[in-house]
Amino acid sequence: MRRYCAALIAGLGLALAGPACGGTEDEPETGAHNLATLEAEVFNRCSFTSCHVGGGAAGLNLEAPIHGKIVNQPSSQFPDLVLVKPGSPGDSYLYVKLTATPPPEGKPMPFGGPLKSADIARVERWILDGALDD
């Protein structure tokens, strides 16, 4: 299934369209990709809208601090994948939910449209860099 997810993402070319949290225009990767910045600037939108607070949608709580809640933790929707696998966005269910259309289970996130491509690139870079708690 991991190969399927990685192939699905590659095959789709990360095609993103529609309204999103802050827009979807193609932008160069900007901003820091450390976890503290991602919590404040990207994941906060998912908890601020009350989707992923407390028990959260699909049992996912994205209220800061989130490292221990998502890194090497199994997905409740797709237990074969962990939410974030350090070094491997294609094996990280959280990343798959942000990029695959459709994802292997459930609906693409965030609900209502994709994140800006620059924010997705920041999440990807954080995962590739080892998903550190920084």
123, pLDDT greater than 80: yes
Break the chain into its structural domains and give their ranges. Answer: 2-10+33-128
What would you report as the CA-atom Rg of the chain, rounded to the nearest whole angstrom?
A: 13
- Over the stretch 13-68, which tens digit does the pLDDT of each residue have? 333 233 334 444 444 445 677 898 888 888 776 645 567 767 777 778 777 788 99
Q: How far is CA 31 from the centre of its chain?
A: 16
Whole-angstrom distance, CA of residue 24 vs CA of residue 67: 26
**Per-residue pLDDT at 30:** 54
pTM metric for this prediction: 0.71
- Pick the more confident residue, 70 or 85: 85
**Helix, strand, coil tally for the chain in percent (to 5):** 40, 5, 55
**Per-residue pLDDT at 45:** 67
